[in-house]
Structure formats: C-alpha cells, structure tokens
Chains A and B, each alone.
Chain A
C-alpha cells in the first residue's frame, strides 16, 4: 500500500478503526505472556524480587527514546515533506512519550529506594531521562500555548528536531559516566551479558510496550484528527452564520 493512501485522513481513519482492535488485543496478549514469564524469571541474588521493576523500567526507557524518534520523523514530515498527517503524528506522540518517560523515572526512583537507600540519586542515566522528560514537557507546553494548531505544530517540530540531539547524549552518557546505576549491558560489545532467563521476558515486555505505544499512538492520532474536524466544523458554522445574514 503506497504511503499516499495514508495521507488522506479519511482513509487513515478507516484503516485505524479496522486495525486498532487487533493491535489492542495483541498488546494485551503480549503483556500477559510477558508478565507470566516475569513471574517465573529468577530473582537477583543481591536485589531479590525488586529487580523485576526492571521489566517496566527498561522498556519504558527504550520507548521514551523511540517516541522521540517518532516525533523526529514526524517533525521532518512536517517541515520537509509537508505530509498532512505528520503534524498529527507528532502531536499525538508527545504526551505518550512524556508518559513513558514519567513511568521510567517513577520506576527508576522506586527501584532506587531499596538499591541506593534513597528515592533519587543524580546518576547520569536517570538525570538524562529527567532532562528528556523536561524536553517532553516543553513540547507539550508549546502545543498547549499555541492557539493556532498549525503554527504550534511547526514550532514543536523544530523543537523536536533540536531535542533529537538529546537522545544520543542519553545513549552515550552511559559510557561517559561511571555511576551507581547498572551499566548498559544488553548490547555491550562482544554479545549480551544477560542470562536468557531474564533477557527473554525483557524483550517480550519491550515488544508489549512497543505494541502499547502504537495502540495509543493510533488512537491519539484518530482523536486529534477528529478534534481538528470539530474545530473546522465550528469555524464553518461561524462563517455560515455570517454569510446567512447577508
């Protein structure tokens, strides 16, 4: 199916309405499978059962970065290709990304309590997640402040592109700073250092989170398209009334 078909919001809406229930069902299934695997996954010999927060924390961190990636592509779509759906995609992704970042921060903080003895430590990775969260909030504030949706989404697109510089910093901050936090060991040079009994549920959960993201994203895009239609219908209503009088 060529991408041109998706450019038509009406076509997009009908596709989303057909796909969304399946996507939601798949999300639930993968989460159920993942949670069952987590139950059976071994506890850490030092941290005990608290290590299982990882299965929420790590996928949320991945998704929060992937979501900015989606926003970056959408921003390019808005500014360069002028694809009509891309600013809808960007606007719909921002609150979801902020929510995933927030989940990552909260779970990191809860994980930190038994591990470090305090809820918050200014460790490099958590701190850069916090900066990412602030960037998300800035984008949300920009959408919130702009009364004209078109101008707001162009401004947010520029901010998203600028902010994309932040994502490599998060990635590489792990290697720059040696901290209290677990070093990124999944894709370390020379293969994975994690036992398969932990890795498989983690990957399943990451898949579940990704499905969850797309479910929420499509639903949010649909809502945004409908919201814009309501807006333009009300504008037309005001205009028609003005014309009816003359």
Chain B
C-alpha cells in the first residue's frame, strides 16, 4: 500500500499556500509534516482527506481497497472533536464507528485504549477537553482505516495520554497502517520521516 503525492499545489483564496510538493508513504511508515505557522500543514492533511480541492498535481493511493476513495480509507483527526454533547460517550463513538467503518466493531477495546471505558454512559457534555480529545482518538481504533491524518494530535493531551497515543500509533504502523501527522514537536514516533512544507 502506498500513498504518493505528485507535484501537489494548494491555493486558497487566490494565494498559493504551497506548490510542487512531492512525497510518498508506504504501509507501516509514519511521516511528520512540519513547517512554520501558515505553511500549509493543515491544508495538506485536509487535501488528502478530500476536504480541500487539489489545485494542481495528483494524489494516489495504490494497494488499498479498489472501490473506496482515498478519503474513504482515511481517518482525519482535526482540531475539532466532532462530538455531540447531548449524546453519551458510547453513543458518540458508536455513531462514528458505524458511519466511518465496519458496523460490527465492538466499542470496548477502543474505549479502553483511550482509558474512557468507565465513562461510557456519561454525556459527552461532561467531558474535559482532554477527555473529549481522547474520545475522538477512540474513533480511529473503533473504525479500521489504513491512513491516519492527524492534525496536532497531542494538543490538549497530558503526558500520559500522549504516551498512550504514541503506543496506538505504533500498533497502527505495525499492522501495516500509515500515519501523516502535522506537528510542531515530537509525538513519540522514533522512525518517522519528516516532510517539510514551506511556501513556494
């Protein structure tokens, strides 16, 4: 399985954010997208997730499921948690597991992986920022998708949760998954390659 970006260009509001970006990522590999503020790290991830139009260039995922689109095989963890406060922790997770992936997945392992199992019946409105973040990470476990697109995944997480997340990412890579993470600092993956995004 391989994700390749060929001469990618992103234009937003008439401004060129980045251009001529080339990269390739194979199964089991992680890539850290770095660059200063406004360089287009988030835009690159959103582009791969199919949330921003590609201005020029090509994106290609080979070796995945033939019928599914690139976005249909990717998880996107953005700045927002995509949780509904009036639904319980397990209802929120159940919905995203059903909607994004296979319907028969059990939630317990995913909730246990982010240490939220005792709160399963609590409305999401009661969660702290870090707990909300962990719940949205749980959806990466509950629905299986090969490509993880993580935008500042460690924000709002304490040290212990960051370690847990690193462990989950290592498990994902060991299972042949791919990770692209936009980040300013280390996220606990030793063998990650670095992709520097810079304007022009």
Cβ–Cβ contact A245 & B160, under 8 A: yes
Contacts A147-B125, A234-B126, A235-B126 given; does A242 touch B85 at CB 8 Å: no
Nearest Cβ on chain A to B138's Cβ, whole angstroms: 15
Nearest Cβ on chain B to A228's Cβ, whole angstroms: 13
A27-B125 Cα distance, complex, nearest whole Å: 40
Most buried by B among A234, A235, A242, A246: A242
Q: List 10 A-B contacts (CB under 8 A).
A: A234-B123, A234-B126, A238-B127, A238-B128, A238-B131, A239-B128, A241-B118, A242-B128, A242-B130, A245-B115
Q: Residues of B at under 8 Å CB distance from A?
A: 85-86, 115, 118-119, 122-123, 125-128, 130-131, 158, 160
A110-B164 Cα distance, complex, nearest whole Å: 66
Cβ–Cβ contact A246 & B158, under 8 A: yes
Interface mask (A203-246 → B, CB under 8 Å = 1, otherwise 0): 00000000000000000000000000000001101110110011
- Which residue of the partner chain B has the closest CB to A232? B126
Cβ–Cβ contact B85 & A147, under 8 A: yes
User: Within the complex, which residue of A235, A237, A246 is in contact with B160, where a contact is CB–CB below 8 Å?
Assistant: A246
- Which residue of the partner chain B has the closest CB to A242? B128
Nearest Cβ on chain A to B83's Cβ, whole angstroms: 13
User: Within the complex, which residue of B85, B86, B119 is in contact with A238, where a contact is CB–CB below 8 Å?
Assistant: B119
Q: Which residues on B sit within 8 Å (CB–CB) of A147?
A: 85-86, 125
A238-B85 Cα distance, complex, nearest whole Å: 14
Cβ–Cβ contact B122 & A237, under 8 A: yes
Q: Which residues on A sit within 8 Å (CB–CB) of B115?
A: 245
A238-B86 Cα distance, complex, nearest whole Å: 15
- Which residue of the partner chain B has the closest CB to A148? B125
Q: Which residues on B sit within 8 Å (CB–CB) of A235?
A: 126
Q: Which residues on B sit within 8 Å (CB–CB) of A242?
A: 128, 130-131
A147-B84 Cα distance, complex, nearest whole Å: 12
Cβ–Cβ contact B122 & A238, under 8 A: yes
Q: Which residues on A sit within 8 Å (CB–CB) of B130?
A: 242
Please give 10 more A-B residue pairs, beta carbons under 8 A apart, in addition to A239-B128, A246-B158.
Answer: A147-B86, A234-B122, A234-B126, A235-B126, A237-B118, A238-B119, A238-B126, A242-B130, A242-B131, A246-B160
Q: Which residues on A sit within 8 Å (CB–CB) of B118?
A: 237, 241
A241-B186 Cα distance, complex, nearest whole Å: 27
A226-B82 Cα distance, complex, nearest whole Å: 31
Q: Which residues on B sit within 8 Å (CB–CB) of A234?
A: 122-123, 126
Q: Which residues on B sit within 8 Å (CB–CB) of A241?
A: 118-119
Chain A to chain B: the 6 pairs with minimum beta-carbon distance, closest first:
A238-B126, A235-B126, A234-B122, A234-B126, A241-B118, A238-B122
Nearest Cβ on chain B to A232's Cβ, whole angstroms: 10
Nearest Cβ on chain B to A241's Cβ, whole angstroms: 6
A235-B119 Cα distance, complex, nearest whole Å: 10
A245-B131 Cα distance, complex, nearest whole Å: 12
A241-B111 Cα distance, complex, nearest whole Å: 14
Nearest Cβ on chain B to A174's Cβ, whole angstroms: 44
A242-B132 Cα distance, complex, nearest whole Å: 12
A245-B130 Cα distance, complex, nearest whole Å: 12
Q: Which residues on A sit within 8 Å (CB–CB) of B122?
A: 234, 237-238
- Which residue of the partner chain B has the closest CB to A235? B126
Interface mask (A125-153 → B, CB under 8 Å = 1, otherwise 0): 00000000000000000000001000000
A235-B131 Cα distance, complex, nearest whole Å: 12
Q: Which residues on A sit within 8 Å (CB–CB) of B131?
A: 238, 242
A72-B158 Cα distance, complex, nearest whole Å: 47
Q: Which residues on A sit within 8 Å (CB–CB) of B160?
A: 245-246
Q: Which residues on B sit within 8 Å (CB–CB) of A237?
A: 118-119, 122
Q: Which residues on A sit within 8 Å (CB–CB) of B125?
A: 147
Most buried by A among B85, B119, B130: B119
- Which residue of the partner chain B has the closest CB to A240? B118
A239-B126 Cα distance, complex, nearest whole Å: 9
Nearest Cβ on chain A to B72's Cβ, whole angstroms: 33
